[in-house]
A and B are shown apart, each in its own frame.
Chain A
Amino acid sequence: MEKSIALSMRGITKRFGSVVANNHVDLDVYQGEILSILGENGCGKTTLMNMIAGIYFPDEGKIYKEGQEVVIRSPKDAFDLKIGMIHQHFKLVDLFTAAENIVLGVKQENAYNLKDVNNRVSEIAQKYGFHIDPRKKIYDMSVSEKQTVEIIKVLYRGADILILDEPTAVLTPQEIERLFNVLKRMKEDGKSIIIITHKLHEVLSVSDRVAILRKGEHIATVETKDATESSLTEMMVGKKITLNIDRSEPKNPQPRLFVKNLNCVDPEGIQVLKDVSFTANGGEILGIAGIAGSGQRELLEAIAGLQPLTGGEIIFHNPKKDQPVTFFHKSLNRVKELASQEAFHDEYGNPISFGGMNNKQIRGWVESGKVLFKEDEVMNLRDKTPLEIRELGVRLSFVPEDRLGMGLVGSMGITDNMMLRSYRKGPAGFVDRKKPRQLADEIIRELEVATPGVNTPVRRLSGGNVQKVLVGREIAFAPKVLMAAYPVRGLDINSSYTIYNLLNKQKEKGVAVIFVGEDLDVLLGLCDRILVINSGKITGLVDARTATKEEIGLMMTQTDTPAKEAVPCV
């Protein structure tokens, strides 16, 4: 059966600054089909679709609707052309009912006869098999219901091309099945449906054709019936590129952090971490691979004490046996507390108690280096705040994904940002800017940070320099565990290599480095082991020196197959 073309794009190019998001993409959408757009994070899927939906305007190229060239400048233009997009972040007014949201902005006579609206909504719902109560308020709705409202909103405006951006990311398997049934009915009704996704089994089960994008380029469009998971993965991830990262063999890796059965539920009630367990070793880089939003952020924040958990444990293991106690990360009170628990002994193995000694004497003894730990330190970090973790003496550094919104204070200079984690030190009352200033100068010099001065607000620095400041500070903290989330995102090649080298140096110092990345080539070239996370679950643990991109790609995207046997801790 010959189908007519509903929409086609020719030579579409979009640049953001120097980054090319889409490069001469040609794409056709037929009437009455479901087309999947498949690709890794940052391959330009959403950007491409945003140009049809009127969010972006292409730099080059043309869009044709039913053979006629069209110009789409705003979402309104798109609506007028009967194109509607359902974004990942719903655009709904929480306080309104479903019907009110659906009718919002519709320019029609009598549009605010809610009875009519309710009837029409029910009509649409019945036609395609939705379940919806038009009178229900959005804030009372589940994610799936909100998505339904967004879809009906688009249908209500008469759209015949629907674009759904990662529609299944937030849904349960039953909800996904229901959604797919609805989509199939719409297809039978002659509507064209485009799904942006990276989940292979969904692509195979629902779509008629698949268009694969990689690094902004359109690789191929294939009939789904001719495709297999592995053929799609190969096209999606491409050939392996060997990066010139200096990777040393881990020396004597020691277990440093045990994560056991972590479970976490986000404020919307979705379980974002499901029984996550792994061990991070000192002296190696543990990579975490996964599609964006699979729980990486929650995992790192949970370890850092920023994410409330519903279950599980985080055990920090400090190989301190027979090592001297220092005041570097332990307060005098903490040392006294530990002494009362008989945690120390002297160089001859005799237990130490500070009974009858004053603070000065205790200080002197500790500083002489002759107060030794009896055992390795083992601490449970669960339900501890970041401050409590630090007060326990756990040297845990964290380079968060949101650099200026979480890791740094944008309006402050480098010096003041250096103090963020350490300002409590020193005499009571006033902050000491001398040491942070030295540290700032050191980081600027060593990492070649380009900045007008130490007091220039970091917000004004370029992305690479912001990241150098952040990573520099976290490393200066002399961590035992260093977690970095997407530390090279948005950075140019040179800055990226600076960061890789910094992480490698930390590894050689015996730090347990946890690296969350998105570029599989980097993960394979930099890490020692790679943990794969998929929808909040660990789906695999591989040796980075032997694993292939396809192997990891499959673990990142498959959901139907049971999780691969997690390799036991080294």
Chain B
Amino acid sequence: MNVWLNFLIDSLAFGATFMYGSTGEILTEKAGHLNLGIPGIMCMGGAGGCLVLNLVGNSNLPGFLIVILGILGAFFMSVLMGLIYSFLTITLRANQNVTGLALTTFGVGLMKVIFSKLDSVVYLVGPKELYRWPFAGRTDALQCLGVMFFLAVIIALLASWVLFRTKVGLHLRAVGENPGTADAVGINVTRYKYVATMVGSGIAGLGGFYYIIDYMASMEAYLSLEAFGWLSIALVIFALWRPHMTIIGSTVFGFLFSCSSYITNISWINVTMAAKPLLKMLPYIVTILVLIVTSIRNKREDQPPQSLGLPYFREER
């Protein structure tokens, strides 16, 4: 297969990490909550999944069950993290930025502590092949597209469908745009915020798990995970708060992030090592440009949800 196709597939596979992260963050932001705890949540998702695999990785359970248990472990651990964030910002109306940053500090730290106690032979070496289904064992680039990659695409499309084509999505967007109006027509604002934030966190957590167990599949992977959490938040802006756009966006980001290693392998492009970090900087620069351009164009559909970052408190009458 030619090198460019490999490159594309690798970008897609890499991008799935942020696809999960930003789809989750979009759901949260659509409910009006800017969750800066996503890096911590993704880390804890990875830790949760691997924690479960550490228990079942050596067992005689059928392979598909191990795969599902790992995913569920990642999901529920991240939902728990989301619960901490939701309780503090929704019920206790704490500052969202500060809560999110504290959650990231906590999550990244706890993940490292947890991984220091896990046995990579158990949680990684055996299970990682299972997650590569259906392309496990192939020698070409396709081998890196496993179940969790397809799950990411499905979740992103599903999230878009729910947000923009269903009643639940309509209500959720109303909550994020104008909670007062949503409240007045009888929508339970608190419940929508909780569910969106926790489900969003669960989805984001899968991204961390995917990165560790599938894309990188190495025992050091968790050390570089935090940065991709932040990249996921950037991708939300790039995708203009539309989950399906994260599929394209994550591929572009994955491309920019990993192309440095490809480009230096190609003889006819003479690039120095120094270009690598500049290429890695590009996703963020592009995101800033998107942010600036959308604010100058001021098109309403492309703006962050109107009540993003603001706590909702129904005045007592």
Contacts and interface: CB of A to CB of B under 8 A. Distances in A.
Direct contact of A and B (CB under 8 A): yes
A82 interface: no
Interface string B166-202: 1100110110011011101111000000000000000
Contacts of A423: none
Nearest to A153: B185
A93 B178 contact: yes
Contacts of B300: 94-95, 137, 139
B301 A91 contact: no
Contacts of A103: 167, 170
B306 interface: yes
A137 B300 CA distance: 10
Contacts of B117: none
Given A95-B306, A105-B171, A75 B185 contact: yes
B297 interface: no
Contacts of A91: 178, 180-181, 184-185
A112 interface: yes
B317 interface: yes
Give the dominant DSSP class at A's interface: loop
A486 interface: no
A536 to B, nearest CB: 28
B128 to A, nearest CB: 41
A104 B177 contact: no
A76 B186 contact: yes
B166 A112 contact: yes
Contacts of A111: 167
A56 B180 CA distance: 16
Interface string A38-72: 00000000000000000110000000000000000
Interface string A84-123: 0000000111111000100111110001100000000000
A207 to B, nearest CB: 27
Nearest to A56: B317
Contact of A104 (B165, B174, B180, B301): B174
Nearest to A111: B167
Contacts of B167: 103, 111-112
B171 to A, nearest CB: 7
Interface string A500-530: 0000000000000000000000000000000
Contacts of A93: 173-174, 177-178, 181-182
Nearest to B187: A105
A139 B171 CA distance: 18
A79 interface: yes
A95 B181 contact: no
A372 B187 CA distance: 70
A96 B170 CA distance: 9
A150 to B, nearest CB: 11
B182 A104 contact: yes
B170 A95 contact: no
A95 B182 contact: no
* Interface footprint category on A: 20 to 34
A105 B186 contact: yes
B185 A104 contact: yes
Contacts of A95: 173, 177, 300-301, 306
Interface string B81-108: 0000000000000000000000000000
Contacts of B177: 93-96
Contact of A94 (B170, B187, B306): B306
Contacts of B181: 91-93, 104
B317 A105 contact: no
B163 to A, nearest CB: 12
A360 to B, nearest CB: 51
Nearest to B305: A95
Contacts of B317: 55-56
Nearest to B169: A112
Contact of A100 (B170, B182, B184): B170
Contacts of B170: 96, 100, 103-104, 112
A385 B137 CA distance: 73
Contacts of B187: 104-105
A149 to B, nearest CB: 12
Contacts of B301: 95
Contacts of A56: 317
Given A95-B300, A96-B174, A105 B166 contact: no
B304 to A, nearest CB: 11
Contacts of A55: 317
Contacts of B185: 75, 91, 104-106
B72 to A, nearest CB: 30
A56 B315 CA distance: 12
A507 B300 CA distance: 50
Contacts of A94: 177-178, 300, 306
A103 B178 CA distance: 15
A93 B186 CA distance: 14
Contacts of A75: 184-186
B218 to A, nearest CB: 43
Interface in B277-314: 300-301, 306
A291 B182 CA distance: 31
A100 B173 CA distance: 11
A399 B136 CA distance: 76
A100 B182 CA distance: 12
A137 B165 CA distance: 16
A138 to B, nearest CB: 10
A76 B184 CA distance: 8
Interface string B146-179: 0000000000000000000111001101100110
A107 B171 CA distance: 11
Contacts of B306: 94-95
A56 B317 CA distance: 7
Contacts of B178: 91-94
A141 to B, nearest CB: 12
Contacts of A96: 170, 173-174, 177
A112 B163 CA distance: 12
- Of A74, A103, A105, A112, the most chain B CB neighbours within 10 A belong to A105
Contacts of A112: 165-167, 170
B174 A79 contact: no
Contact of B171 (A76, A104, A137): A104
Nearest to B181: A91
- Of B165, B173, B184, the most chain A CB neighbours within 10 A belong to B184
Nearest to A92: B181
B300 to A, nearest CB: 5
A16 to B, nearest CB: 10
Contacts of B174: 93, 96, 104
A221 B174 CA distance: 41
Contacts of A107: 186
B181 to A, nearest CB: 4
A180 to B, nearest CB: 26
A107 B186 CA distance: 9
A111 B169 CA distance: 12
Interface in B7-54: none
A112 B301 CA distance: 20
A79 B186 CA distance: 10
19 contacts: A56-B317, A75-B185, A76-B186, A91-B180, A91-B185, A93-B173, A93-B178, A93-B182, A94-B177, A94-B300, A95-B173, A95-B177, A96-B170, A96-B173, A105-B171, A105-B182, A112-B165, A112-B166, A139-B300
Given A91-B184, A104-B182, A105-B185, 10 more contacts: A75-B184, A75-B185, A92-B178, A95-B300, A95-B306, A96-B170, A96-B177, A104-B171, A104-B185, A111-B167
Interface of B: 165-167, 170-171, 173-174, 177-178, 180-182, 184-187, 300-301, 306, 317
What are the nearest 5 A-B pairs in CB distance? Answer: A105-B185, A112-B167, A76-B186, A91-B181, A105-B186
